[in-house]
Chains A and B, each alone.
Chain A
């Protein structure tokens, strides 16, 4: 009698899509044994807009604003990847001045993306304060975008072949000021979190992915680096002149949630380093390469990828020689990283799933496209 009374049975718990710590509309069906997770099933697609289908029905320049709406937290990275892919197909290269401005804005965008991740991740774990601080600094980053192109989130900052706009008056000063003010702020976040015993205990050993597992699941970006793989596309296959800048690839050994936190914190510092070097030396010259008025890449296909804040963001574009892509495929880092959730969550507790979703740094607009 007592035996049957104590028997545990499997339980299904539905988490999301309206759950604050799933960062949007992610729905996870958890299979539980007590409080332990024995399996997960992600239900995604709530934000599916058919971006790849839309691409086939728009001209190349018309499609550029759509890519901003995938990873809307790092829209500048999305735009850069798209422009580079089309430039590769057209065999044109952006001018040195355009490249420098692209690097500055992309790196500031990486900081803004990591800041939003940090604030919301900490909030999920129960540390409310960092969100206010990270939002304050992110605001300064967004102001630079706003001054540059008028938009804060879905920026459409770049054009195929270079830039649409020349930098505004006071651009360099504002960027330098941002760097100077931002760097000590990272120390502030670290005093709040890095040595905080609750924070450390809550994250250490949670959601471990080894280097081998990361490669098997195609997990890239800070998650791969936290597992000890020193791999960053900005170094491995440099684009937009990243090879001119001096910066390190932060890595950690354990591949757990705490290590990913440390890696992303250090990446923000490295981004500041890159921005400082780039802004100190923006070459003079035109901002647009000699690109034809009508973008008609010759028949052919190419795959171009960049190191977005979340991982490898790739575009596979097939051109049939017309002014519209024949097929455009986005390789979204969030979607592919999310697949490893099942691996990480098995054997963990329900409360840890929140930490694991946070550490994945997913944006559902990009997962669902």
Chain B
């Protein structure tokens, strides 16, 4: 990705506040994003909400990069500030066993969005008030949006028990 460094006012403010914890401030196709250390994500979101008016969590999602052995998951927070009319992406790169802290106490939106990320990627959000599957059935095994989960793959046992058929295919 040919992103260009982003050195706006906000970027320098964040770098001054969080120092080493901000890995990268960059911009691609005029969209600013921050890559942060996983343990700072929540403090960063809180700071952005209280000090920079980013009061609206637009979306929270994840992406799976199995080739990045050390940290195969991206957790992406997209936030927006009504006062600035500005959008920002905060990304953290985490290992499979890492449990990022929940953002549900800063933005209520995060509750269901984190449940979806857990459902689809198996990312366990630490401290989440109600971390259950949301779209897939509760007893389903596997996390469909991981790259090693095949497009036709399914939980055969669940299908057999609940639908009474050999295969959903």
Contacts and interface: CB of A to CB of B under 8 A. Distances in A.
A71 to B, nearest CB: 16
A236 B80 CA distance: 12
Given A89-B29, A301-B28, A329 B1 contact: no
Contacts of B3: 300
A135 B109 CA distance: 34
Contacts of A299: 1
Nearest to B135: A45
Contacts of A14: none
A33 interface: no
Given A45-B137, A215-B82, A300 B28 contact: yes
Interface stretch (A3-11, A52-60, A163-171): A52-60
B59 A302 contact: no
Contacts of B137: 45
Interface stretch (B36-44, B50-58, B155-163): B50-58
B59 A331 contact: yes
Contacts of B120: 52
B109 A216 contact: yes
A18 interface: no
A57 B31 contact: no
Interface residues of A, number: 41
A54 to B, nearest CB: 7
Contacts of B55: 215-216
A336 interface: yes
B145 A231 contact: no
A202 to B, nearest CB: 28
A148 B109 CA distance: 38
A48 interface: yes
Interface string A63-92: 000000000000000000000000011010
A299 B134 CA distance: 31
B141 to A, nearest CB: 15
Closest 7 CB pairs of A and B: A218-B109, A45-B135, A331-B59, A327-B63, A300-B1, A329-B61, A48-B135
